[in-house]
Amino acid sequence: MKMLIMGAPGCGKGTQSEILAKTLNIPTISTGAMLREAIAKGTEVGKEAAMYINDGKLVPDNTIINVVLDRVAQDDCKNGYILDGFPRTLAQAEAMEKAGIKTDVVLMIDVDKDVIIKRLAGRRVCSKCPATYHITDNPSKSGDKCDVCGAPLITRDDDNPETIKHRLEIYAESTAPVIDYYGDKVVKVKSVGTVEETTKSILKALGI
């Protein structure tokens, strides 16, 4: 299955794509995570991305398109993948299609704005692995350490009120219109309850 997960910042794309990837036994590809890794390694892409991510702006289309096209061409994507956070502009969606990359289904996680703010304000992420927590809704068992690898939990640099505001504006302007581009491939799931409840709704909506 070639699936895209879309939705506003903090709706749960990363959390749900990690769970679905295990269920479906396919890799999850998060463009946000790839860019943060590039920043941490100090690569050319990372140096460029840092200027945008820290302001809550989108990284230029050409930069991210090349990163994604290289990644989905790798062997582990032969049986499918879940793309988290790409495409985010019409130009990115068109570039995928032009490169002959088909999409089977687009999962759109729909979350009200007040819930988004709460999810982002309480999010903690592992400083080493992709694990994501929430201080009240999805806490780590040990409080400030990752349950998976034991590394300290941190707050993402772009989870501050000013940057969150920019990210939400850019989502409404540039990314929400991409959902219409996919027409009847879109499966919309409202996320209101716990992580587990959202996963159940998603699996049901996808017929898995």
Binding site for Mg ion (CB under 5 A): 14
Does residue 181 bind ligand G5P (CB under 6 A)? no
Interaction pattern, residues 97-136, with ligand G5P; x per rule: CB under 6 A? ----------------------x--xx--------xxx--
Active site (annotated) includes residue 71: no
- Report how far residue 62's alpha carbon sits from residue 76's, in angstroms, rounded to the nearest whole number: 24
Compute the least distance from the CB of residue 160 to ligand G5P, in Å. 12
Q: Going by C-beta distance under 8 Å and a sequence separation of 6 or more, which residues neighbour residue 1?
A: 24, 26, 80, 82, 104, 105
Query: What is the Cα 108 distance to its own chain's centre?
Result: 11
Does residue 137 bind ligand G5P (CB under 6 A)? yes
Over its C-alpha atoms, the chain yields an Rg (Å, rounded) of 16
DSSP state for residue 75 in the 8-state scheme? G
CB atoms within 10 A of CB 182: 17
Q: For 103, how many CA atoms within 13 A lie in the half-sphere containing its CB?
A: 27
Does residue 146 bind ligand G5P (CB under 6 A)? no
Active site (annotated) includes residue 36: no
Does residue 35 bind ligand G5P (CB under 6 A)? yes
Q: For 117, how many CA atoms within 13 A lie in the half-sphere containing its CB?
A: 7
Does residue 53 bind ligand G5P (CB under 6 A)? yes
CB-nearest residue to Mg ion: 14
Amino acid residing at 96: M
Active site (annotated) includes residue 156: yes
Interaction pattern, residues 2-21, with ligand G5P; x per rule: CB under 6 A? -----x-xxxxxxx------
Query: What is the Cα 195 distance to its own chain's centre?
Result: 15
Residues with active-site annotation: 13, 88, 123, 156, 167
Q: Which residues are at the interface with ligand G5P (CB under 6 A)?
A: 7, 9-15, 31-32, 35, 52-53, 56-59, 64, 85-86, 88, 92, 119, 122-123, 132-134, 137-138, 158, 167, 191, 194-195, 198
